[in-house]
Amino acid sequence: MQDSRPTDAAAPDAGAEADAGAGQRDLAAAGIAELRALGERVTPARRAVLRVLAETSEHLCVDDVLARADVIVPGLHRTTVYRAVETLGDLGLVTHVHPDHGPAVYHLDPSLTGSSHLHVRCRRCGEISDVPADLLDGVADRLARQIGFQLQPDHAALTGLCRACAAADPADDPR
Amino acid sequence: MQDSRPTDAAAPDAGAEADAGAGQRDLAAAGIAELRALGERVTPARRAVLRVLAETSEHLCVDDVLARADVIVPGLHRTTVYRAVETLGDLGLVTHVHPDHGPAVYHLDPSLTGSSHLHVRCRRCGEISDVPADLLDGVADRLARQIGFQLQPDHAALTGLCRACAAADPADDPR
DNA sequence: GTTCCTGCAAACTCTTTGCACTGAG
DNA sequence: CTCAGTGCAAAGAGTTTGCAGGAAC
């Protein structure tokens, strides 16, 4: 498992600042309320996944979520986390991003956090950074007009080299 | 294996038109010459992979390449194709693109074909379309200036919905 | 004659699926 | 009580690795 730490290099709207626990708990609670409102079952596993995602601004892969959620719900199974994030994704509570390599990463949907952003990933070090949500607005317009393609810019990470890796030794194994 | 047919919806410079065999053969030959010039071994497997990629403008995954190259070099092994495209990639003769789902797809590097482009992939139908190479130039500039990130815009496909799928039933299982 | 490539088998990562059981509503 | 969610085992896709044999130079 590669870890998937974000840098927030150019975070858009600074959302939930350096707040310790209160704001995050509200996020999880809001997610749970929404679950209930949608007529979905509120289970320990889903609670835990929401809480884990609410407690961080990092981009967590399923294994990361499992590791943290297992503390809350011991014995939680990886498959269950896959199913939970899928369900929560279908409901619009959780969003996932596909990096060019490695597992998909998850975070709370901007509709809950109020802070939307896109992702870039360094091919060399694998670090995922947030970039402003409007970065691809112009590109989306062009694609829509020219070929009728509706860009979903948050669904795949853009790739390249981060500042550090671009500066470093240019010959290493990029993927 | 999902098949990976490009649409050339907005192909940039029309490169090698509707030419049957001559232009493509030259491309493969150029690749082989380059291989030799770089002091790399020219093996049947590498020849075949180059020829397969030179003979199409589609985006082929390893299995596609294998299926076509196996006709030229019977018994060719999948592993060998993986290693060939990796080597050819390191040498700058072949480029690969990571769609958000499914296997990486390969094509000859623009330095050989003279026709560079980026890729968008429909989340619903999986179709990969080419889009103009300069689409992300502005975005690349912004990323470089703002966070020092060197975008490699051809390395990951942008995702969204193609015209047909966007028009169709909006509730299906997107990935 | 070396060195590098190839084929094969096996492993590895990430993810999905089928089935019996249990717990939420 | 019922149905949906869970755990477990297994399988699936895509890719990588180790090693012995063979071909390129």
pLDDT in tens, A97-135: 999 999 999 999 999 999 899 999 999 999 999 999 999
What pLDDT does residue B19 have?
44
The number of domains in chain A is: 1
Band of pLDDT at residue B167, cut at 50, 70 and 90 = confident
- Stronger pLDDT, B27 or B142, i.e. the higher one: B142
pLDDT surpassing 60 at residue B94: yes
What percent of the residues of chain B are helix, what percent strand, and what percent coil, each to the nearest 5? Answer: 40, 15, 40
- What is the nearest CA distance from A22 to chain B, expressed in angstroms? 31
What pLDDT does residue A115 have?
87
Asked if the Cβ–Cβ distance from B160 to A148 is below 8 Å, we say: no
Work out the percent of chain A whose per-residue pLDDT is above 70: 82
Residues 81-140 of B with CB under 7 A from strand D: 82-83, 86, 102-104
Of residues B147, B153, B156, nearest to A9 (C-beta): B147
What pLDDT does residue B169 have?
59
What number is the average pLDDT over the span B75-96? 97
What pLDDT does residue B22 have?
54
**Cβ neighbours for B11, distance < 8 A, ≥ 6 positions apart:** B115, B117, B130
Cα–Cα dist B75/B82, whole Å: 15
Kindly give the interhelix angle for A44-54 and A62-72, rounded to the nearest 10 degrees: 110
pLDDT surpassing 60 at residue B26: yes
Q: Which residue is nearest to nucleotide D16 (CA to C1')?
A: B79
- Name the token pair of A32: 């749970």
What pLDDT does residue B28 have?
87
Q: How far is CA A104 from CA A28, A35, A45, A147, B159, in A?
A: 21, 22, 19, 28, 14
Domain with residue A40: its CATH number is 1.10.10.10
What number is the average pLDDT over the span B35-58? 96
**Domain with B117 in it:** 3-172
Work out the percent of chain B whose per-residue pLDDT is above 90: 75
Cα–Cα dist A29/A42, whole Å: 11
From its phi and psi, is residue A25 left (phi > 0), alpha (psi between -120 and 50) or beta? alpha
Work out the percent of chain B whose per-residue pLDDT is above 70: 82
- Stronger pLDDT, A93 or A24, i.e. the higher one: A93
What number is the average pLDDT over the span A141-158? 95
For the entire predicted model, the pTM comes to 0.84
Nucleotide nearest to A62 (CA to C1'): C14
Q: Which residue is nearest to nucleotide D14 (CA to C1')?
A: B103
pLDDT surpassing 50 at residue A20: no
Q: Kindly calculate the radius of gyration of chain A based on its CA atoms and give it in whole angstroms.
A: 17
